[in-house]
Each structure stands twice: as structure tokens, then as C-alpha cells.
Amino acid sequence: MVSLPNVSFSVEMHNNNQQQQQDLEDSGRTERAKWLINSPEPPYLWQELVSGIRKNVFPHRGNHSLGAMSFFQALFPILSWGKTYNASKLKDDFMAGLTLASLSIPQSIGYANIAKLDPQYGLYTSVVPPLIYALMGSSREIAIGPVAVVSMLLSSIVPNVVDPVVDPSGYRKFVFTVTFFAGTFQAIFGLFRLGFLVDFLSHAAIVGFMAGAAIVIGLQQLKGLFGLNHFTTKTDVVSVLGSVLKSVPHEWHPLNFSLGCLFLVFLLVARSIGRRNKKLFWLPAIAPLLSVILSTLIVYLTKADEHGVKIIKHLKGGLNPSSLHQLQLNGPHVAQAAKIGLISAVVALTEAIAVGRSFASIKGYHLDGNKEMMAMGFMNVAGSFTSCYVATGSFSRTAVNFSAGCQTAVSNIVMAITVVVALELFTKLLYYTPISILASIILSALPGLIDINEAYYIWKVDKLDFLACLGAFFGVLFVSVEIGLLAAVTISFAKIVLNSIRPSVEQLGRLPRTDTFCEVNQYPMAIESETPGLLALGINSGLLCFANANCIRERIMRLVTEEGGTKETEKDTGQILILDMSNVMNIDTSGIFALEELHNNLVSLGIKLAMVNLRWQVIHKLKVAKVVEKIGIEWIFLTVGEAVDACLASKLV
């Protein structure tokens, strides 16, 4: 009997300790919730744009001691890595540059032919753009110059505005104007950090587009291979095959075809040997130049040009002439030039950045996409002033450059100087070069653009992505380049829209022996709340907006109704819905209105709404719209676990 007061005192002390501990937990939760609610105001869009430009142009702005040098090193990366450049690197770059030039010279002539330009313009494009890129680009391996896909893109769209047969001078001027706009758009993309625009062409779309373009380019080379005079200006496979079948019986020259096929076999064999034996990487690189030299000698010695073999004939030599006065910035076709320039800019950037990043990952360094865009933009603007057309990074030449052991972008400088020497000294020697050899060189480079394994991988991983791949492939193959690109972008956008307008709302549960809450459907071992009247849901959408707000609200109400029907609650017990907003990065006025309507519907059912982990933009807009006040500051939490603990401690459930 004497010990009873001590027992009651111990119980009272225990209760006091529990109460103190509970008070501490409550104050901690309140403090953490205030961190969320009182977060600073997020930056405005214009502030983010200005900040992005500053980071591009002044990467070390906070360090005033760097001053102007910081600006120039950001604009010209060669000033940074040039400090550690040595004779050993120069030796490697010199050999790589010479190897690169041996492949670039014949390819550039062939690609100019695809673009419906005179051969020298392909060589011009392998001079100025590589030099500018070497100063401003950040990739060590990428090889700059004309490429097959962009050449085909120009030859398929530009003739709709200016006919190269009727007005070759006007066609050339229009191409220079397109190049100017392409470079301008690329520089703007990089300066304002608009690289996401390039991502409108998804990886799957590029795989399909490249494959379709490769087949179309290959079919167009049948004109040079057979030595045809009359050929369609259209690029779709039906028109090209129809033109070939119509012209071959009357116009083809067996000697022309035989010579082209002979060297095509030689090029493909050299390519195969180079792939099997990495030490012989130089063989497929030098094979095109050897083909040009040998075939030119054969034609010259045998006078094969008098027996039906088509030859290049005149190829203008000398340094790049100025084309500044040829830009048609005030002409009647400026709008079309800007449109084609935008398309060319996106396609060229997509290929260049994909090539640059793939080789950068092998070497283990990061490639800044925005700086690459600025470099590409400036080199194409400079190219438009010096008789060049749209240049970008070539996958085949970059692979050769990499295999040849290049160390820096100096290999591009060596290549450009070698091309200049060729323009000054050797253009007259190319007079007897057969056109069928240029066709065979282009045909031998096309298999690298068709990646069947990657298409199969896309099919296995994502069927909608594969649909975009097919859309680009068949669009380019059977209609036109523009339709192929449009189909790919449309399907990619449709995928985004489908994912955004039908987001999932999932029930959350606590993983055993942890404080982590996750989706019950994905983790069946997660424990749903066993407390009647308590339901935790998560929204799986990065944006709560006009496109999906009502759908999300209806799904939440459906789940609340279903949960209310399956769990019986006491009459004097309330109900609480915990809404996890961790995945919602932003919200618009439609999303805010939907949340207000959801709150009103829940209140009418006697259900409290608790919101968890509101992101920066979301909490700011909800505070401005006074939604936080309506819900109640005490119902805003940092984590789902804290929200559940607070609801249980409040004894409202």
C-alpha cells in the first residue's frame, strides 16, 4: 500500500516524457514545414535566360581576377587547352589530320554533287568551318565538313524555291543564304541555352531518318554510277526508281558502270578489313583518295572519257572566294531561306552533338552542348561569307580521326590546310576523275548510317519510340525529307501529350522497417495505411496543367471514393487525404483551379487535405493564389512520413 504513490508518480513521469517527446516531434515537423513554406521566390524566366547567357559567356564571373581572359577562354576553348599543348600531341594531330584529309577531299567533292553544287564548294566547306570550329569547339575528335544527310536535305528542299538547272547562280546564292540562317539559329540556340529544341528530334527519330536518308542518297547515286543524263529532281524512292528504270535502257554506259562497281567493291573490302583489324584503320580512310587517283589515271591513260565515262572536267581551284555580297537577305525568298535554315540547323546540330558526345564518352570528358551550338553557329555564319554551305560533324570522318589517334581539334586545322594545298595545286589533276567514282565513294559510306541493331533495340524497349523511328524512315523514303521529319516530330510530340494528359495517381505505402513511402503497385511489399480514414496518394506528372488537371482531380476523387467504400470509419472519426506532390515540378492556373476544386470537394465530404513536398515553383504559385491559406499552413509537410505521423498524433483519424 505504501508503494502506490511511487507507482502513480512513475506513470505520471512516463506520460510527461512521452508528451515532451511528442511536443519536440511536433515542433520539428512545424519547423521543417516552415522551411518549405518560407522558401525564397524562384527566379523569373528572363532571369534564367540572362543567367544562362552569363554562364555561357562568363563561366568564371564570380572570380574577378580572371577578367577578360575568362570571357575569351569560354568563347575560344583553344586558349585553355593550348597552354598544355606539346610536340607529342602535334605529331599525333598532324598524322590524324593528313589521314582525315585523304578521306575528306573525295567525300567533300561527292557531297557537293549531292547538294547540286559545283565540286569546289564541297572543298571550300572543308576549309573555313573546320578552322573556326578548332578555335571555338570543345570536342577533341569531331571532324567538321559537309555531310551526306545535310547535303541531301538541301538538294531536296532548295530546288522547290530556286531551280539549280535553270538558275545555278541563284541556287548557289540561296544555299549561302540558308547557311547564314542555319548558323544564326545555331548560335542563338547556344547563346540562350535552347538546346532542348534540338531534342525535338528524338534518338529514335534520328535512327529512322538517317536510315531513310541513306537509302535515298544511295538511290540517287545510281545516276552517277550508270552515267545517266536525265534524272528526276524528286527524292522519294518511287520517283527515283522510276527514273532509273526509265533512263537506264537508253542512256547507261557499261564502262562507266563497270568502273564504278569495281572501285565500290575495293572500297567496301577496304572498309571490311579496317573493321576487322584496328591496326589497319588507315586503309578505309585512304581508300577513297586512292580510288580517285587510280581511276583518274585509268581514264586519262585509256581515254575512257571518249567511250562513255562521265568525268568531272573543270574544277575551280584557289582559296575560298568571298560570298558576302551573294547573301540574299532582302530578296523575295528570305522567309523560305530562314525556314530551310532552321530545319538544316536542327538536323546538323543533332548529328554533330550525337557524334561529339559518343566519342567524348569514350575519352571520358564532358561535351557542353550549348558551347557546341555556338561554335557550330559561328563556323556556319563564317562559312556563308566564304562560299561554304552548311557544315557539321561527320560520323565516318570523326571515327577515322579518332582511330588515327587525334589528341585535339588541331587535326581539323591540319585537314583544312591540306585541303587548301589541294585547292591551290591539284584541282587541275582532277579533270579526268570519273563521276562514277564519286558515286561509289558515297555509296561506300552509307552503310554506317543504317543501324539495324539500334532499330531492333528501340523496338524491344519502347514501341512508341519505334513508331517515331518508322515514321521518319518511311516519310523520308516514300514522300520527302520534310514529311519524314514532320512525321517523326509529330509522333514524338503525340507520345509526350499522351503521357502528360493521362498521368497516373498511385496509392502510397510504407516499405517494411523503413520510413520510405512508395507506390503500392510497384512495391507490393509496401504497407498501406492500416488506420481507417487515412489515404496517401502520389501524382506522377512533372506538370499539373490545363492538359491533365481535371483528369488528375477526377482520379483522386475516384480513389478517395473507392477507399472510403472499402474502409469503414467511425462516425466520430475524420478522414485525411495525404497528397504527395514530389513529382510535380510546375503548375499553371488550370492546375491551381483543379486543386482548389479538389479541396472543396474533399471538405464537402468531411475529408482533410494534406500536401507533401511542394516544389519551388509550385509552392510559390500556391502562396500567391492563396491556396496554402485555404488548405491551412499546418497541413503542408516536407515528407509523407511526417504527414502520416502528424495525422496520427493529431488523433483526427
Residue with cell 564571373: 61
Cα dihedral 469, 470, 476, 477, rounded to 10, equals: 140
Answer yes or no: are the C-beta atoms of 214 and 449 closer than 8 Å.
yes
CA proximity to 495, closest of 515, 474, 519, 469: 469
Note whether 270 and 330 are same-domain residues. yes
Note whether 176 and 253 are same-domain residues. yes
Cell representation of residue 155: 538538294
Mean per-residue pLDDT, 254-281:
91
Q: Go through the chain and tell me how many residues it has.
A: 653
Amino acid letter, 322? S
List pLDDT tens digits, range 57-102: 555 555 554 556 777 777 888 888 888 899 999 999 999 999 999 9
Last residue of a domain, one of 495, 511, 537: 495
For residue 72, being part of any structural domain is answered with no
Note whether 515 and 482 are same-domain residues. no
Mean pLDDT for the chain overall: 86
Residue with cell 561569307: 385
Per-residue pLDDT at 574: 52
Nearby residues of 321 by Cβ (< 8 Å), 6 or more positions away: 386, 387
Residue with cell 525568298: 333
Per cent of the chain over pLDDT 90 is: 48
Last residue of a domain, one of 495, 510, 542: 495
Answer yes or no: are the C-beta atoms of 90 and 410 closer than 8 Å.
yes
CATH of the domain at 629: 3.30.750.24
Cell representation of residue 298: 585509268
Higher pLDDT, 127 or 249: 127
Is pLDDT at 23 greater than 70 in this prediction? no
For residue 145, being part of any structural domain is answered with yes
Note whether 578 and 474 are same-domain residues. no
**CB hemisphere CA count around 428 (13 angstroms):** 3
How far is the C-alpha of 534 from the C-alpha of 323, rounded, in Å? 73
Per-residue pLDDT at 62: 53
Q: What is the DSSP letter of 318?
A: S
Mean per-residue pLDDT, 393-413:
91
Answer yes or no: are the C-beta atoms of 434 and 259 closer than 8 Å.
yes
Label residue 128 by pLDDT band (50, 70, 90): very high
Cell representation of residue 427: 584541282
Is pLDDT at 276 greater than 70 in this prediction? yes
Is pLDDT at 15 greater than 90 in this prediction? no
Three-state secondary structure call for residue 147: coil
**CB hemisphere CA count around 209 (13 angstroms):** 28
Answer yes or no: are the C-beta atoms of 122 and 106 closer than 8 Å.
no
Per-residue pLDDT at 609: 94
List pLDDT tens digits, range 174-217: 999 999 999 999 999 988 877 777 767 788 888 998 899 899 99
Count other Cβ atoms within 10 Å, centred on residue 186. Answer: 31
Answer yes or no: are the C-beta atoms of 257 and 402 closer than 8 Å.
no
List pLDDT tens digits, range 532-545: 778 899 999 988 99
Note whether 585 and 619 are same-domain residues. yes
Three-state secondary structure call for residue 612: strand
Count other Cβ atoms within 10 Å, centred on residue 89. Answer: 17
Q: What is the domain count for the chain?
A: 2
Residue with cell 567538321: 144
The answer, as to whether pTM is greater than 0.75, is yes
The DSSP code sequence of 412-481 is HHHHHHHHHHHHHHTGGGGTT-BHHHHHHHHHHHGGGG--HHHHHHHHHH-HHHHHHHHHHHHHHHHT-H
Is pLDDT at 567 greater than 80 in this prediction? no
Q: Which domain holds residue 595?
A: 502-565+572-652
For residue 46, being part of any structural domain is answered with no
How far is the C-alpha of 71 from the C-alpha of 374, rounded, in Å? 14
For residue 62, being part of any structural domain is answered with no
CA separation, residue 88 to residues 85, 477, 629 (Å): 8, 47, 68
Per-residue pLDDT at 2: 43
Last residue of a domain, one of 451, 470, 495: 495
For residue 10, being part of any structural domain is answered with no
Is pLDDT at 282 greater than 60 in this prediction? yes
Per-residue pLDDT at 58: 56
Per-residue pLDDT at 27: 63
Note whether 647 and 510 are same-domain residues. yes
Note whether 455 and 579 are same-domain residues. no
For residue 3, being part of any structural domain is answered with no
How far is the C-alpha of 164 from the C-alpha of 177, rounded, in Å? 15
Of the chain, the end-to-end C-alpha distance in Å amounts to 40
Per-residue pLDDT at 571: 43
For residue 24, being part of any structural domain is answered with no
Note whether 436 and 581 are same-domain residues. no
Cell representation of residue 128: 573555313
For residue 28, being part of any structural domain is answered with no
84-98, 125-139, 517-531: least confident range: 517-531
Q: Can you say whether residue 320 is alpha, beta or left, with left for phi > 0 and alpha for psi between -120 and 50 degrees?
A: beta
Is pLDDT at 9 greater than 90 in this prediction? no
Q: Is residue 232 classed exposed, middle or buried when 0-12, 13-18 and 19+ CB atoms within 10 A define those classes? A: middle
Q: What are the φ and ψ backbone dihedral angles of 518, each rounded to 5 degrees?
A: -150, 175
Note whether 198 and 306 are same-domain residues. yes
Note whether 103 and 130 are same-domain residues. yes
Per-residue pLDDT at 56: 57
The DSSP code sequence of 630-652 is HH-GGGEESSHHHHHHHHHHHT-
Note whether 152 and 172 are same-domain residues. yes
**Bridge-based pairing state of the strands 143-145 and 392-394:** antiparallel
Note whether 486 and 511 are same-domain residues. no
